[in-house]
Amino acid sequence: MATTAAPFGATEGGRVERMGRRALVRVRSIFGAPTLNAALLTGTTLFLVVFGLVMVLSSSSVESYVAGGSFFTDFVKQAAFASIGVVVMLVAARLPAATWQRVAWIGILLGIALQVLVFTPLGFGANGNRNWIGVGGFSLQPSEFVKVALCVWLAMIMTRKQKRLDSFWQVWIPAAPVAGLSIGLVLLGSDLGTVVIMVALSFGALWFAGVKWWHLLLPVAALVVLAVPVVLSSASRVRRITAFLQGCTDADYYSGCWQQLHGTWALSAGGLFGVGLGNSRAKWNWLPEADNDYIFAIIGEELGLLGAVVVLALFALLAWTLLRIVRQARLQMTRVVTGAAMVWLVGQALVNIGVVLGLLPVLGVPLPFISSGGSQLIAALLIVGVVLSLERVDNPRARGEELTVSRVRPRAAARV
């Protein structure tokens, strides 16, 4: 009986299909079986990072050229930090979930130790805040990594005390002393914006852990009372809050209102569609921190209302995805870390955007994933990696898909 050979195209097509399946199995074996939550979280995060790189290039180009004769200096640095951060996120996402409970104490103690170094000769300040350390030409903002440590450490404590959270003292010991020390060290450096975010994520961790709301009332009241002398202790803070409450006068133009007013003018100049990417006028030394705290103003100016709405929609998607993970989580550790991360990232984004829009007094916090700054970007990507790690082992669908992949691998290898 005569036989006919398979068409060349069919043979090649089958080979390509088998190679694709083999590659998919390898990717799944390295990074875990994909779930909708993981895909949404990873995709949204990476889109924000790429979008941020584009906006950092646009908003920092003028000052980069003035400082060093190149439009790309700050962009190249930010791209390097983004590359490191993405690698850190992927590595963290693949670590076993039990790792985070084991390293929680080490992480918080290391974070506190680094924050203490801010007040040594290694530390230095900028814009009235002493919150950085510098070694060999490299600088680090320890408070950003203290945020990560707080999320993981509080989750570990709330997990171990899960059955004793009805007791006020069980909730706050040792959570209050350790978190208070971490936040107090940042406050000593006068970085009030970071302190606000750290306080918020700490209470967010307790809330998602299932702590009774009346157990949170007394600490909240104490913090409100403590906030009054903290604000009054700084003339700069008083000016900013006064300008926010009473409005800007001509006398305030060069002191407390310059940044706020120029940020508002940049947003208003954008209109619906913006003046075009790279065409901002405010970045020509009119708007301080154009690539950092006020990058949302440059987004509004260059990309218009549509660009600003896209950013808001991305953070809304990020919040929705993290809430999905919280709702579907079976483990206390996953719920608390994810909830705290959501309060941190989305809350900080809302504070940053609220400041730029004039809805809040100037606090000085970056827009997560988008503003320039290596420490904040790497820390934000790290906490996303931690959430992905916990979600990967907590999600029943993920475990089922990993089992399916392990069963398919020998047959896929045999066909190749």
Of 403 and 95, which is predicted with more confidence?
95
Rounded Cα distance between 307 and 270, Å, is 10
Collapse the DSSP code of 357 into the 3-class scheme (helix H, G, I; strand E, B; otherwise coil) and give the result. coil
Return the number of other C-beta atoms located less than 10 Å from residue 306's C-beta.
Answer: 13
Q: Looking at the predicted structure, is the pLDDT value of residue 404 above 90?
A: no
- Confirm if 328 and 37 have CB atoms less than 8 A apart: yes
Quote the pLDDT of residue 49.
97
The DSSP call for residue 286 is T
The DSSP call for residue 281 is S
Mean pLDDT within 214-242: 87
Does an H or E element contain 134, and which? Answer: strand 129-135
- For 84, counting Cβ atoms within 10 Å of its Cβ (0-12 exposed, 13-18 middle, 19+ buried), the class is middle
Quote the pLDDT of residue 35.
85
Strands 138-140 and 129-135, by their bridges, are antiparallel
Contacts for 121 with CB less than 8 Å, ≥ 6 apart: none
- For 233, counting Cβ atoms within 10 Å of its Cβ (0-12 exposed, 13-18 middle, 19+ buried), the class is exposed
- Confirm if 337 and 307 have CB atoms less than 8 A apart: no
Rounded Cα distance between 337 and 154, Å, is 8
Percentage of residues of the chain with pLDDT beyond 90: 65
Instruction: Read off the pLDDT of residues 237-258 as tens digits, 9 standing for 90 and up.
Output: 888 888 888 877 766 677 668 8
Instruction: Read off the pLDDT of residues 367-400 as tens digits, 9 standing for 90 and up.
Output: 999 999 999 999 999 999 999 999 988 875 555 4
Encoded amino acid at 60, one letter? S
Encoded amino acid at 113, one letter? A
Q: CA of 44: how far to CAs of 252, 322, 349, in Å?
A: 40, 11, 14
Cis peptide before 368 (omega within 30 of 0): no
Instruction: Read off the pLDDT of residues 165-195 as tens digits, 9 standing for 90 and up.
Output: 989 899 999 999 999 999 999 999 988 999 9
Q: Which two tokens stand for residue 215?
A: 């157990």
Phi, psi of 32 (to 5 degrees): 90, 160
If pLDDT is split at 50, 70 and 90, which confidence band does 313 have?
A: very high
Rounded Cα distance between 389 and 165, Å, is 25
Of 404 and 258, which is predicted with more confidence?
258
